[in-house]
Structure 1
Amino acid sequence: MSVQVAARWVVLDIEGTLTATSQVHVVLYDYARPRLGLWIDAHSDDPVVAGAVAQVKADAGLGEPAGTAEVVAVLHGWMDADRKATPLKTLQGLIWSDGYARGELTTDYFADVVPALRSWRDRGLGLAVFSSGSVAGQIASFSNTTSGDLRGLFAHHFDTVNAGPKRERDSYEKIADGLGATAAEIVFFSDVPAELDAATAAGWRTVGVARAGEPFADADFGTHPVVSTFDDVELEVIA
């Protein structure tokens, strides 16, 4: 059954919505894991890296003398628990950006994704991303894909730093302000019901994405309309 929705902006989750969860939890995590310590030591003078390391120490209760090994142990633990910790996402994003730039990483999307994104963009809809992955990591992931460089499709990128947690209403209100749009002009696609609930609380339109084989394929999406593929979405452009 198709879902019909009117919008001016389409905001998209990535993991489980545009890409398979394994793209992040296997491909990207496995790439970043052995490089975290090396990256921290090689970029200790980078204020972004230094700030992330300091935040890890503070969040984990590590003393200031704690070395790279202790910091990396915390980061690995967070990765194992799939914790959406901001300093972890920052460091991963830097490492992934480098990997994409080197051509060592390539993003693969569900077959329906790229045709739908291009069609929506061509019809005048604005596209934006809201992901727990850092903005740097998001942009990098779109730079080298099996469908080419897709960075030009997206007008805005939001993460837990510039917007806030994905399961809180305030984050979606902040994004709407950033887009210069009213809540009723935005539709959010995600595979996580709690994220859709937060978006709805902010007045957004929502569509759940329940893809076969993904962690939330059989989740209870409540009153949110649900599709298993973007082929089942009919988007009307609000002038």
Structure 2
Amino acid sequence: MEPHQPIRTTDRRLTLALVFLGVLALLSAVAAIAIVVLDRPDGRQQQIARDRAGTGARADLGDISSTPAVSQPPIGDNQAPAATGTPAGGGDHAPKPAGPQIVYFRVQQQPRCDTAGNHTPATVQWKLSGATGAALSVDNPGLVGSYRSYTGTTGTETLNFSCGGGPGSTETHVYTLYTVGGGQQRSRTINVSATVPGAPPIPTASTTP
């Protein structure tokens, strides 16, 4: 029985070695599976990610499809496109009249008369555009510049009133302004009057019965 003892010892060592290798192989497989599981998200997370991606895509498609398409009608040979912006004749872009214009011609100071024969003269003023000067006529509107001519587009003139008609009388003068230069001539006429105050009433004597 002595010769068989070394064989049993050798078999036991071989068996232990195989068991140890098997355990190592099993541990390696478990570790590999754990690494794979940890690296991959679970099915629920993958489903949530897919749902979010699908929702975003549907939202983008919904935004695009909800916008109505705007089409322009074809413009024929005799059809002009619709005008936009400020209509003609209004706003700052309205066309200005051509040629010289009288912006204003008015009385700056009204004449006055009193019973003593004193008077305050009349003063007229004007402003033009598109002209080189002005011409003034007094009581003669058919004769351009019968009183005086002026250069420039603004001016004033003082005109006397005689106030010599007596109490209650009215004196009237006709002033006509003409544009000079710049194109077709324009004119404007104003009438200015002043009345002499009437004499104070004479007191009447009263009688006592």
> Structure 1-normalised TM-score?
0.18
Radius of gyration: which is bigger? 2
Higher RCO by CA contacts (8 Å cutoff, separation 6 or greater): 1
Which of the pair is proportionally richer in strand? 2
TM-score (norm 2): 0.19
Higher helix share: 1
